[in-house]
Amino acid sequence: MDKLLIEGGAALSGEVAMSGAKNAALPLLCAALLTREPLTFTNVPALNDIDTMLRLLAQMGVVVERQGSQVTLDAAGLSNPVAPYELVKTMRASILVLGPLVARFGEARVSLPGGCAIGARPVDQHIKGLQAMGAEVGVEHGYVHARGPRLKGARLFTDMVTVTGTENLMMAACLADGETVIENAAREPEVVDLANCLVAMGARISGAGTDVIRIQGVERLRGVTHRIMPDRIETGTYLCAAAATGGEVRLTGTSGAYLDAVIDKLMDAGCEITTQRDAIHLKAPRRLTAVSIRTAPYPAFPTDMQAQFMAINTVAEGTAVIRETIFENRFMHAVELIRLGARIRIDGNTAVVTGMERLEGATVMATDLRASAGLVIAGLVAGGETLIERIYHLDRGYEGLEQKLSALGARVRRVK
Ligand SMILES: CC(=O)N[C@H]1[C@@H](OP(=O)(O)OP(=O)(O)OC[C@H]2O[C@@H](n3ccc(=O)[nH]c3=O)[C@H](O)[C@@H]2O)O[C@H](CO)[C@@H](O)[C@@H]1O
Ligand SMILES: C=C(OP(=O)(O)O)C(=O)O
C-alpha cells in the first residue's frame, strides 16, 4: 500500500492550478443517466472516485469516453439499473445514481453506500423523498430497491440539510410529472453547478442556491457540454498548507467566490489574501493566530475543511475551539495529530487545540479523505520526517497531490 513521506519545514511558495471539484463532478456524471443524448464534461478531475463512478455507469450500459479531463457519457443504451456492492462500497456518492435511474428507467437497485467513515451517514432522506414522489422503495439485503414507472411531483422537506439528498431528489424531479418543491434544500455551490447543467439540458429548475428549490418536470432532457466548477475544498486545503508553512502561493483555475467562510478565517489567522476572478493569492504571517470554527451547511464553514483547520491550529499562537456539527465521528485525525505532538482535547463534538511552536515528524495513519489532508498539512510543518499510511483516501479526492505540493517546494514523495 502506498505511503506518503514528507520532510517538513519548507515554506510553500509559487503557483499551482486547482482541479475540477470532486463533489460537483460526481453528481454531474450521474445526470447523464437522465437522457438518451450524450453529455460531455470538461475539467473532470483525475481521481479514484471518478474512476469508480465511471466504472459504475459503464456496467449499467453507459458508454464512457475519456480523454484527459474531458469525459463523454452516452446513456442511450442504459440496460442494467443496478449499482453493485463492490463498486459502491468505497464511495458515498454512488447513491446519486438512485434518483436518475428511477426517474428515467422506472427501477433501480443500489447497494447502500460506503465512503468516508465519518459517521453513520444514512440515506433515509433520499428514500423518503422518492417515496413521496410515488416510488416504492425498500431496503433488502443491503440494497435500496426502488420502483416507480413515472414519478410524481411532490412537496419534499428533508429533516436536515443534505447535499447528495438534495442532488438526488432534484435530478429525480426533473423527469417527474408536475412540480416538485424541495424545502430545506442544501445551498452548496455543487448543487448549483448541477442545477445549471440540468437547466442547460432542458430541466425547469428555480431556486438552486437557496433553501427552496422548485422543479417543473419535463418529458425529456437533452445532451450538453458542461465545465465542472473548481474544487473549493482542494483550494482551501492548499491555502491552509501555505498558511501553516508561512508560505506565499497563487492558486489558479479557482475562485474565492465559494470560499468566503474559509478565507475569512484564514485572514483572522493573520494571512493576507487577495482574490481575482480565477485565482487566489495568499501570503502567510510568520506565525498564525489560532482561529475557532464551527462547521455547518453552506454558506457557513464547511465540514470538509475542519481537519485542515485543526492542523493549522496545532501550530498557531493561542487556543482554538473546533465544533463539528455535521458528522458525529469526524475527529479521527485528532489522535494522529497528537502523535506528531499536537495538543488537542476532544469532548463530544468539540475539540480544543492549543498551538505549539512546532510538531515533530512521526508515522501516522490516514483515516478518511480530509483527515488525510490535515495530516499532510501537519507533516509539512513538522520537524523531520512524517510518514502517512493509507493514502488511498487522498487519491479519492486530491488530483496529483505530490506533484502539486512539490511544485510549491514541498519535500514530499510517495513510497511503497
Ligand atoms: C459526494 C459529496 O458531495 N459529499 C459531500 C456531501 O456528503 P453527503 O451528501 O453524504 O452529506 P449530507 O449533506 O447528506 O450529510 C449531512 C448530515 O445529514 C445526515 N443525513 C444525510 C442524508 C440522509 O438521508 N440522512 C441523514 O441522516 C448525514 O449523516 C450527515 O450527518 O456533503 C457533506 C456535507 O457537506 C460533505 O462532507 C461531503 O464531502
Ligand atoms: C466526505 C467526503 O467525501 P464523500 O462524501 O465522498 O465520502 C469529502 O469529500 O470530504
Residues 68 and 164 in one domain: yes
DSSP letter string, 323-389: E--S-TT--HHHHHHHHTT-EEEEETTEEEEE--S--B--EEE--SHHHHHHHHHHHHHSBSEEEEE
Q: Which of 193, 227, 261 is the last residue of a domain?
A: 227
Residues with CB under 6 A from ligand 2: 23, 91-93, 115-116, 304, 369-370, 397
Residues 211 and 251 in one domain: no
Closest listed residue to residue 265, CA positions, set 230, 190, 316: 316
Is residue 332 within 8 A of residue 365, CB to CB? The reply is no
What residues does 204 pair with on adjacent strands?
Answer: 216
| Closest ligand by atom to 188 CA | 1
How do beta strands 363-365 and 350-354 pair?
unpaired
Query: Measured in angstroms, how far is the CA atom of residue 188 from the centroid of ligand 1?
Result: 11
Residues 199 and 291 in one domain: no
Question: What global pTM score does this model have?
Answer: 0.98
Mutating to test ligand 1, I would choose from 163, 166, 308, 327 the residue with most ligand atoms within 8 A of its C-beta, which is: 163
Which residues, 6+ apart, have CB-to-CB distance to 130 below 8 Å?
Answer: 98, 99, 102, 137, 146, 148, 151, 168, 169, 172
Residues 172 and 294 in one domain: no
Residues 285 and 294: their CA atoms lie apart, in Å, by 23
Q: What is the CATH number of the domain that holds 173?
A: 3.65.10.10
pLDDT digits (tens, 9 = 90+) for 86-125: 988 888 899 999 999 999 999 999 998 765 678 788 999 9
The total domain count for the chain is 2
Q: Which of 212, 227, 242 is the last residue of a domain?
A: 227
**Catalytic annotation, pick one of 116, 174, 197, 271:** 116
Residues 163 and 76 in one domain: yes
Does the Cβ of 396 fall within 6 Å of ligand 1?
Answer: no
Residues 90 and 194 in one domain: yes
For ligand 1, atom 19, the nearest C-alpha belongs to: 121
Residues 246 and 186 in one domain: no
Which ipTM score applies to this complex? 0.99
Residues 396 and 327 in one domain: yes
Closest listed residue to residue 99, CA positions, set 154, 37, 34, 191: 34
Does the Cβ of 50 fall within 6 Å of ligand 1?
Answer: no
Is 116 a known active-site residue? Answer: yes
pLDDT digits (tens, 9 = 90+) for 139-181: 999 899 999 989 999 999 999 999 999 999 999 999 999 999 9
For ligand 1, atom 21, the nearest C-alpha belongs to: 162
Residues 155 and 237 in one domain: no
Residues 88 and 109 in one domain: yes
Closest listed residue to residue 223, CA positions, set 25, 78, 57, 33: 33
Residues 200 and 215 in one domain: yes
Question: How does DSSP classify residue 119?
Answer: S
Residues 109 and 111: their CA atoms lie apart, in Å, by 7
Q: Which domain holds residue 169?
A: 22-227
Does the Cβ of 92 fall within 6 Å of ligand 1?
Answer: yes
Residues 394 and 333: their CA atoms lie apart, in Å, by 13
pLDDT digits (tens, 9 = 90+) for 32-53: 999 999 999 999 999 999 999 9
pLDDT digits (tens, 9 = 90+) for 362-384: 999 999 999 999 999 999 999 99
Which residue type occupies 46? Answer: A
Q: For the chain, what's the residue count? A: 416
Residue 283: count other Cβ atoms within 10 Å of its Cβ.
17
Query: Measured in angstroms, how far is the CA atom of residue 326 from the centroid of ligand 2?
Result: 12
Closest listed residue to residue 399, CA positions, set 30, 47, 22, 8: 47
Residues 194 and 296 in one domain: no
In percent, how much of the chain has pLDDT > 90?
93
Q: Which of 227, 252, 285 is the last residue of a domain?
A: 227
Residues 77 and 99: their CA atoms lie apart, in Å, by 18
